[in-house]
Structure 1
Amino acid sequence: MSNNNEINSRKNAGGLYRLGDPVVLGLTVGFIVVFVALSLVDLDGMSDAIAAGFGWTARTLGAFFQLLLLLTFFVSIGVAVAPAGRARIGNRRTPEMSTFKWLSIIMCTLLAGGGVFFAAGEPVHHYLMTPPNFSATPNGSAAAIPEALAQSFMHWGFLAWTILGALTSLVLAHAHYVKGLPLQPRTLLYPVLGEIVMKRWLGGVIDSLCVIAVVAGTVGPIGFLATQVSFGLHELIGVSPGFSTQLIILIALGAIYVTSAMTGIDRGIQWLSSFNVFLALTVAGVIFIFGPTLFLTNSWFQSFGQYLSSFFEMATVTTITAPESWLKWWTVFFFAWFIGYGPLMAIFVARISNGRTIRQTILSIAVMAPIATTIWFTLLGGSGIFYQMHGVIDLTEALKNFQFDVATLSIARALPGGDLMALAVLLLTTIFVATTGDSMSYAIAVVSTGHDDPHALVRAFWGIAMAVMAGILLYMGSGQIAVLQQFIVLTAIPISLVLLPSLWTGPQAACAMAREQGIIPSLSEAEHD
């Protein structure tokens, strides 16, 4: 096959592909340069154009994004419980890493900095300003507590996690480990479009769009982290919160995740994720044991029940019942953000899940990780609601203005341990963002080179490029980071079309692996029977 010849030539050559596909490199770096240049030349004009596109996308395609996530979740669960779920991914009989390390990488990579940044403030926001589906509940009332947490669970729960690799990782794993195709987004469309999508220019454009979505989605948290940590250090120890401090934080963060990416999955990425999980468990244990334990326990049970009972109502909210401004900044924004990450997260999941069963992989991503996330949101956000109720903190004005850095720090300082806990939360947030930075630098390098183990300098290049872009945008003002966040929703339009075929190609890939491993009868055997 011609595509296999091209793949083999990439693996064996030391030429241009060792630095990256010129189409992917050119289009992605071109996007970074053009975005920054337009920001410098006509900041207001570009911001207005992206805001208009952002609003149109949320209004017109929001329901499509929601439906895509819903179908992906239910099809994934169907594959997991089917006999084909016993098939193993890849070409190993046993996993290449321990379950703890594997789950640590998944949790840290997919949850990312948003798991701390939004976990503290979002539930309190919904408690103070009840979401459209629960508008009959008075703001700030006891009845608003489970509904506020349930709305947060919807944004960060089953649907969000599943789109990040439950089905798409199966398509990539079968195509890569069995057919020898590269771990690239274009491979997701190979079962539908065949050879044509593997050609350099078309495949390069598809890969570029997916890389651009991840760059936009990762640069945002990197930039926001710099502002959040600088604000936190200013409040805690009096450090100036200006650009100089933000730049120092950015350099330190970049050094951490670039070093981690360069040392690879088996060393830096794995070690950083494991350390982060231990730190998160420590913080969670302190909050649960020394914080409002009974309140948090009751809140989680009731909120999870509310999440399940209102699942479809929250997942399918549209502008018919919800204000467009609310929808585009909450449900559609988050779902589009996760869609943008989908292809490259799937590459990463396929890469680290060699030897795992399909059932293990899907249930870990689509069920176990979301439940862990709801517990984490209850510990941080639930504590925030508790302290807000009892007058320890007042986040009303801060959250009306979407000042989540203020909310996170205020809640952290109110937690057991005070300022020490606040420093621990800032460190945890930093490492969460770093674990996304290193894994995405690695995944982008895999996409651009077509190699499972891309050269360390290629990984470093992409990590540094994202840090530099964040630094330039911060220099122009934190508002430009917010503009880039809006651009994420626009990137979800083409990426959603890349993910869409996995609704049927994912189950097909699972069945193919099961047949090849003798778990279910082959087609010829089934016809004979």
Structure 2
Amino acid sequence: MKRGEQEPRDRASHALTAPLRKRSIDPTVFGWSFGIVVVFCIVAAAIPGVIGDLASVGLTWVVGNLGWAFVLAAVGFVVFSLYLACSRYGGIPLSQDGEPPEYSTVSWVAMMFSAGMGIGLIFFGVYEPVAHLTDPAPWVDAAPGSQEAARQGMAYSFFHWGLHPWAIYSVVALALAYSTYRKGRGNLISSPFQALLGKKRIEDDGWGKPIDIWAIVATKFGGATSLGLGALQIAAGISLFTGIGGGFGQQGGGGTLMALLVIAVLIVFAVISALSGVSRGIKWLSNTTLVIAALLVAFILVAGPTVFLLNLAPSALGSYVFHFIPWSLHSPAFGGVSWLSDWTIFYWAWWISWTPFVSTFIARISKGRTVREFVLGVLIVPTLVSALWFTVLGGAGLNLQLTGRANIAGAGAGGEAAAFFTALEQYPGFVVVGIVVMFLVAIFWITGADSSAVVLGMLSSRGHTEPNKWLIAGWAVLSAIVAAVLLLVGGLDALQTFTILVAAPFVLIIMGLCWALYADLRRDPMRQARAGPVGRQRRPTLVPSEPEEGQEYEPDGEQEMRVPDRGGGDQSQR
């Protein structure tokens, strides 16, 4: 074997995997993030009224002064994701050349979807379209309660749960997956910034630590929102079936107490699942939720107003496509501040606050995919599944409201969590189906909690993909505590308020990640082999040069490249 043929590849492999073998806890990142969250929980539990008032003031300022930033950022992430999928960068793998995907496509989509949206789809699946029916956006030309309001309401549900949220997840997850599996950096939110600032500043000098700390804090509050929503919905179901809990979907009093008990029970199962690892517990639960959710959709489609739902799908989809650009760019400049803060801006902030968790998890399970396969898989498949879900579940709720068979909007006024069960009451086998729905919410809850705990463990363990199991368990328990505290502070309103507040600074971090990803892709050897080095004349092929004796392979450094000349020799260039 000639020197330089296999040995450099081995050195490169060692260099690319070395950062992932560091399992020690980062004391700075863990200490600051854990301390911030714990102090918040103590203060919020001691003076919930004061914390709630301060958060409301902060929310008013953020929505009034930064609403435009959320709007433009979400649009920019959609455009950037689609550009990468359609560009020359699409064929670049998120791994070393030749490595296959780690998970099958079905398991990949199931885990991605369960982590990204599971609980929210059930909580808002029936309620949101009906809410838009009775209270349409001020700029929508439709009378409340009309069929046109129903069509536009379904289209707005597609809008809030379609391309925009998954584009936000996509750009962050893509930056992380490329940085981790292609460049060999640690699996941290800060790691891609090495492309802009260098490894020494980000990793050695600690410039990346504030980014990772805020990523953990944002994950805590974004994840707590979903856990709180799931607990409220299960509590609503228990209240309906048993009469225990202080009211059907009630968010105060007994309803909140029941939600807290639900959190206490489910977190035990979440810890067990998280400790079993991604390939066992989380993968199995995600596949289970996909099957149960598909069966639920099939049941409603057959037992419900089938023809109405089939007619609704193309009509609402057409409205979504037609209004995609104007709705994407609608800001609070000409009124509608309250509606936007309750819906669009809240959703964009919610997805942004979830990006450290969801995107890190998606990156963790996406090794071996190409950039194009990744973007299309993350954007298109979940968007279509969300549209199907809202068409069937939300469409059934719209039909019940329009025909007067059930007052879904009235149920929502008493607690959004109750809307789903109010709709299910109108169908045969309600008791069985209702229990199945609660079971589905519970699995989504467990999947979200354990996935979040694994990601938090990675972020506080220098990016190691298999963090200490007791660290994972600790983060899972703390997630449950944050959700419980926010419910005590103010129920659903508090969950939404704190989500928007913690997400605002993270918009800048995501923009920086887009810039870093683009810089990395432009320097990728595969891209240069096709288009030539950036700023230089096009070359036929480019291969890494053989390292000097004792020299380590540096995937982030500027490597010497050998360009075969026509005379059979090698020409070296920097």
Regarding TM over 0.5, the answer is: yes
Given candidates 130, 137, 153, the residue that maps to 1:124 is 130
Shift, 1:368, TM fit: 1.7
Q: Would the aligned equivalents of 2:397 and 2:408 in 1 still touch at CA under 8 Å?
A: no
1:279 lines up with 2:285 in the alignment: no
Q: Would the aligned equivalents of 1:393 and 1:411 in 2 still touch at CA under 8 Å?
A: yes
1:494 lines up with 2:517 in the alignment: no
Given candidates 180, 184, 188, the residue that maps to 1:180 is 184
Structure 2, gaps ≥5 residues long: 1-13, 247-253, 541-574
Superposition pairs of residues 212-291 of structure 1, within 5 angstroms: 212-241=217-246, 242=254, 245-291=258-304
- Higher RCO structure (Cα 8 Å, ≥6 apart): 1
Given candidates 303, 325, 328, the residue that maps to 2:316 is 303
Correspondence for 1:405: 417
Query: Could you tell me how far apart the structure 2 residues matched to 1:252 and 1:517 are?
Result: 53
Q: Secondary structure at the match of 1:90?
A: coil
Correspondence for 2:21: 11
Structure 1, gaps ≥5 residues long: none
Correspondence for 2:162: 157
Letter in 1 for 2:445: V
Superposition pairs of residues 137-152 of structure 1, within 5 angstroms: 137-152=142-157
Query: Could you tell me how far apart the structure 1 residues matched to 2:475 and 2:65 are?
Result: 33
Q: Secondary structure at the match of 1:76?
A: helix
Q: Secondary structure at the match of 1:320?
A: helix
What is the CA deviation profile of residues 92-124 of structure 1, one whole-angstrom value per residue up to 9, with x for unaligned ones?
A: 521111111111011111113111101110000
Shift, 1:464, TM fit: 1.1
Given candidates 62, 65, 80, the residue that maps to 2:67 is 62
Matched pairs, number:
516
Letter in 2 for 1:71: G
Correspondence for 1:45: 50
Q: Would the aligned equivalents of 1:23 and 1:201 in 2 still touch at CA under 8 Å?
A: no
Q: Would the aligned equivalents of 2:52 and 2:494 in 1 still touch at CA under 8 Å?
A: yes
* Higher mean C-alpha displacement, 428-437 vs 269-278: 428-437
Query: Could you tell me how far apart the structure 1 residues matched to 2:372 and 2:405 are?
Result: 45
Correspondence for 2:389: 376
Bigger Rg, which one: 2
Query: Could you tell me how far apart the structure 2 residues matched to 1:129 and 1:363 are?
Result: 34
Shift, 1:209, TM fit: 0.7
Q: Would the aligned equivalents of 2:357 and 2:455 in 1 still touch at CA under 8 Å?
A: yes
Tell me how large the CA RMSD over aligned residues is: 2.4
What is the CA deviation profile of residues 453-510 of structure 1, one whole-angstrom value per residue up to 9, with x for unaligned ones?
A: 1121111111111113333454xx3615632431111112221111002333334434
Shift, 1:444, TM fit: 0.8
Letter in 1 for 2:181: Y
Superposition pairs of residues 77-88 of structure 1, within 5 angstroms: 77-88=82-93
Letter in 2 for 1:72: F
Correspondence for 2:172: 168
* Higher mean C-alpha displacement, 78-87 vs 279-288: 78-87
Letter in 1 for 2:177: A
Query: Could you tell me how far apart the structure 2 residues matched to 1:373 and 1:156 are?
Result: 6
Q: Secondary structure at the match of 2:101?
A: coil
The two structures have a TM-score, normalised by structure 2, of 0.84
1:446 lines up with 2:458 in the alignment: yes
1:365 lines up with 2:378 in the alignment: yes
Correspondence for 1:28: 33
Shift, 1:512, TM fit: 4.1
Correspondence for 2:444: 432
Q: Would the aligned equivalents of 2:44 and 2:485 in 1 still touch at CA under 8 Å?
A: no
Shift, 1:159, TM fit: 0.6
Change (3 A) 1:472 1:46: closer
Correspondence for 2:514: 503
Q: Would the aligned equivalents of 2:129 and 2:157 in 1 still touch at CA under 8 Å?
A: yes
Superposition pairs of residues 328-347 of structure 1, within 5 angstroms: 328-347=341-360
Shift, 1:321, TM fit: 3.4
Letter in 1 for 2:188: Q
* Higher mean C-alpha displacement, 459-468 vs 388-397: 388-397
* Higher mean C-alpha displacement, 511-520 vs 204-213: 511-520
Correspondence for 2:118: 112
Q: Secondary structure at the match of 1:143?
A: helix
Q: Would the aligned equivalents of 1:145 and 1:299 in 2 still touch at CA under 8 Å?
A: no
Q: Would the aligned equivalents of 1:188 and 1:498 in 2 still touch at CA under 8 Å?
A: no
Change (3 A) 1:230 1:484: closer
The two structures have a TM-score, normalised by structure 1, of 0.91
* Higher mean C-alpha displacement, 269-278 vs 390-399: 390-399
Q: Percent identity?
A: 28
Given candidates 69, 72, 75, the residue that maps to 2:77 is 72
Shift, 1:371, TM fit: 1.6
Change (3 A) 1:514 1:276: farther
Q: Would the aligned equivalents of 1:188 and 1:499 in 2 still touch at CA under 8 Å?
A: no
